[in-house]
Amino acid sequence: MQPALVCLILSAFGSVLAQAEQYWIAYEGNDLPENEGWERHWGNDDGSHEGEGAIRTVQDGILTMDSMYDLRVYDYACHYLYGQVDPGPGELFVAEWRVTVDETIGDGRDSMLVIASDGAMQLAFGLFPDHIDSQFEEEVYIPITPGVFHEYRLLSWDMQTYDLYIDGDLAHEGTFWQGALESKLAWGDGVRGAASLAHWDYVHFGVVPEPCSLSMLIGLCVGAARRRECVGAVPPAVGARVGATERRT
Ligand SMILES: [Ca+2]
Ligand SMILES: [Ca+2]
């Protein structure tokens, strides 16, 4: 191999690594979220930090949040990463959570998971015992089996569109909504006027190297010029649960 070509390949390889300024925020349900770097927001109709919030218990790696005693209560965990949520070139945004919701009452969504990009592109999923929905997208109603935990995994390359997997199956190809919230992920009892009983096993989110980046570079190194689908696996150290992914075109 020519020295110049070797330098070019090493330079390209270095640029891929340089882009991979990934992060991985992992809440495992082993403690209250505010003890693990999350910001707790709670209150009721009387205002912020009023009342006790949801009744929260941690047991066996599960955080149970119960606000069924009072429709006026909200109580959610928020993690801010100002200007650092989005993936860059060659990177992939991943959010994954495992939860089951026993009950909901009141008007609209209560248990929720919200994602806001650095450019204020937003998603908000309402979590119910038998389905989930997406607040800012029309007619997104995804039935789920009640009474059991479900694993949700959301992937986005651009924070404009996303793929949502439920229990390993692609359940929805969706679109972010232009809002005002920026650079955060939040989950829990999100609103006043509704109540829920939910069990959270984990919430993870982060930016990881795009699974196909290194394989594409290897393809370049051996002179393979053909276009290829990007199916692969994220390095287990930064998201073992990500598993197989396929880029949308
Ligand atoms: Ca509530
Ligand atoms: Ca757990």
SS (H, E, C) 33-93: HHHHCCEEEEEECCEECCCCCCEEEEECCEEEEECCCCCCCEEEEEEECCCCCCCCCCEEE
Domain membership of residue 10 (yes or no) is no
Residues 114/135, Cβ–Cβ less than 8 Å: no
- The percent of residues above 70 in pLDDT, for the chain, comes to 76
Per-chain residues with Cβ under 5 A from ion ligand 2? 28-29, 61, 201-202
Q: How confident is the model at residue 15 (pLDDT cuts 50, 70, 90)?
A: very low
Q: Is 102 within a domain?
A: yes
Confidence of residue 210 (pLDDT cuts 50, 70, 90): confident
Residue 78, in any domain of the structure:
yes
Which ligand is the nearest neighbour of the Cα of 203? 2
Q: Is residue 221 part of a domain?
A: no
Reply yes or no on whether the pLDDT at 10 is more than 70: no
Taking each helix axis as running N to C, give the angle between helix 211-221 and helix 3-19, from 0 to 180 degrees, rounded to the nearest 10: 180
Tokens of 137: 């997208």
Higher pLDDT: 247 or 27? It is 27
In a domain, 218, yes or no: no
pTM recorded for the entire structure:
0.81
Q: How many domains does the chain have?
A: 1
Say which ligand is closest to the CA of 58: 2
How does pLDDT run across 102-136, given as a tens digit for each residue? 999 998 899 999 999 999 999 999 999 999 999 99
Cite the DSSP H helix spans in the chain: 3-19, 211-221
Place of tokens 């070139």: 89
Q: Is residue 193 part of a domain?
A: yes
Ligand sitting nearest the alpha carbon of 107: 1
In a domain, residue 98? The reply is yes
217 part of a folded domain: no
Residue 102 sits in a domain whose CATH number is 2.60.120.200
Paired strand residues for 188: 76, 112
Each residue of 52-103: pLDDT tens digit?
Answer: 999 999 999 999 999 999 999 999 999 999 999 999 999 999 999 999 999 9
Give the domain range for residue 73. Answer: 23-209
Owner of token pair 């999923």:
125
